[in-house]
Chains A and B, each alone.
Chain A
Amino acid sequence: MTRTDSLIDQLAADVRPVRPLPPPALRALMALAAIALVAGLAIVVLGDVGELSQRYAGRETLLALEMSAMAATGVLAIIAAFSLSIPGRSKRWIAAPLPSFAVWLLLSGFGCYGDLVRRGGIAWKLGESMHCLSFILATSALIAPLLIWRLARAKPIDPLPVALLGGLGIAATSALVLIFFHPFTVTFIDLAVHVVAIGIVVGAFGLMNRRAFAPA
């Protein structure tokens, strides 16, 4: 008997019933619903939607587009992470959130430029931006365990893209929640800080991919 035959016998003897995982899109939607519930509650209890409307008065369309791009980035990144956690799913999922991410950065940059034109040099100052960094990191840290727990159920065989996309999804969601708590319009410095915060979250997910996602 070869080593392969003997391994097959051992595995067959060890087989136990397992429940197949639901489709990745359904699992992603369930995770997104849980994240939306937590984020929604935090916004309703702690955020100030009235103040947000005042801050963006006259620029509502830009705000709506920017928030849509953030939400699309978060949702697509999380769906992509769940899809890629299953062997054999298309690698094209890696690119799914990138167009909306680019649109988000472009729209934010456009908003920052408008702010620079209106307020001049003051828009370059580093004011409350460090609070944004802490906010995005803290919110990401709060949501991350739920997402990691759900993603790890698939024991992804290639955990790195799953981790990076999960990190992007979490960071985009945190940035979206931040809008409701942001005490000022976004400046170039804020945008840079947001990008750094997103980079930290995605990098942290990437670094802990093997430990956190229990790969097979």
Chain B
Amino acid sequence: MTASGSDGRGDGWGDLLTAAQRGDAEAYRGFLKAIVPFVRAIARRRCWSEDMVDDVVQDVLLTVHRVRHTFQPGRPVEPWLAAIVVRRSIDAARKRGRIGRREIFNEAAYETFEDPDAKEPVDADASRTLARITEELSRGQKEAIDLVKIREMTLAEASLASGQSIASLKVNIHRAMKKLRLNLVKDPPE
């Protein structure tokens, strides 16, 4: 890290980001690590849970990755970065608001029987059914469902993890869900 950056910050974020624009992976890693506390501090002012702050931090890192070409070398990094954090915090708050309006959390929703032991055979049946109905999915469809629906990654994270584009992830999820619905109707669980 440089002693003094071109953006006037002592920690040289501008220099690191400019080097990252040239493809320097180490500078980029250094930049992303260095900005996390700054991003977290702004996100905390706008988020109401630590969980939400973590989501915003990760979303900001992904956004920085996608829009790093919009940073003009020589200009200060902070206003550019702060605007991204504020935007992503607003998006996260809206998303949670939308989900909160439509869904309620019911702790007992996934319980089948009061006695935990009694659930075992049902869980085993569920696994068998799941294995059967997912048999016909292609590898790409299985991967898309696993990353987005089961591990609850965002499309961008799933895209990065799988190498599939966001558009093909969407198509794969859509087709997989359609196939799963058809399979469930055709061959309902016992």
Q: Judge: A and B partners, yes or no.
A: yes
Assembly CA distance A88 to B36 (angstroms): 18
Interface size, chain B (Cβ < 8 Å): 38
Q: B48-67: contact bitstring with A at CB < 8 Å (1 yes, 0 no)?
A: 00000010011001110111
- Please determine whether B69 and A20 come into contact, CB atoms closer than 8 angstroms: yes
Q: What is the predominant secondary structure among interface residues of chain A facing chain B?
A: loop
Is the Cβ of A155 less than 8 Å from the Cβ of B25? no
Cβ contacts under 8 Å, A14 to chain B: 65, 160
* Contact yes or no, A155 B80, CB < 8 A: no
Residues of B within 8 A of A86 (CB): 70, 72, 80
B69 contacts A88, C-beta separation under 8 Å: no
Q: How far is the CA of A87 from the CA of B88 in the complex (A)?
A: 12
Verify B21–A158 contact, CB threshold 8 A. no
Contact A11 B73 (CB under 8 A): no
Least CB separation from B161: chain A residue? A10
The minimal Cβ–Cβ distance linking B29 to chain A, given in whole angstroms, is 4
* Given A10-B161, A11-B160, A154-B67: A20 touches B72 (CB 8 Å cut-off): yes
Which residues of A are found within 8 Å of B65, using beta-carbon distances?
11, 14-15
Q: Smallest CB-CB separation from B55: which chain A residue?
A: A3
- A10 CA to B162 CA, complexed, in Å: 11
A21 within 8 A of B: yes
B79 touches A7 (CB 8 A): no
Chain A, residue nearest B67 (CB): A216
Query: Which of B54, B68, B79 lies in contact with A3, CB distance below 8 A?
Result: B54
CA–CA, A20 and B161, complex, Å: 26
Q: How far is the CA of A158 from the CA of B84 in the complex (A)?
A: 9
Closest to B84 in A: A87
Which single member of A12, A85, A154, A157 contacts B28 (CB below 8 Å)? A12
Taking a contact as CB atoms closer than 8 A, the residue among A12, A19, A154, A158 that contacts B32 in the complex is A12
Chain A residues with Cβ below 8 Å from B62 are 7, 11
Q: Are A157 and B58 in contact (CB under 8 A)?
A: no
Is A8 part of the binding interface, using a Cβ–Cβ cutoff of 8 Å? yes
Q: Which single member of B22, B24, B87, B157 contacts A87 (CB below 8 Å)?
A: B87
Task: For A8, list chain B residues within 8 Å (CB).
Answer: 29, 32-33, 36, 61
**Smallest CB–CB gap between A204 and chain B, Å?**
23
Instruction: From the candidates A4, A12, A18, A20, name the one contacting B58 in the complex (CB within 8 A).
Output: A4
Minimum Cβ distance to chain B for residue A91 (Å) = 9
Which residues of the other chain, B, contact A20 by a CB distance below 8 angstroms?
21, 69-73
What string of 1s and 0s marks CB contacts (under 8 Å) between A93-133 and chain B?
00000000000000000000000000000000000000000
Closest 3 CB pairs of A and B: A17-B23, A88-B79, A12-B29
Interface CB pairs A-B, < 8 A, 22: A3-B58, A7-B160, A8-B33, A11-B61, A12-B29, A13-B25, A14-B65, A15-B23, A15-B25, A17-B23, A18-B21, A18-B69, A20-B21, A20-B70, A20-B73, A21-B70, A87-B67, A155-B67, A157-B84, A157-B88, A216-B66, A216-B67
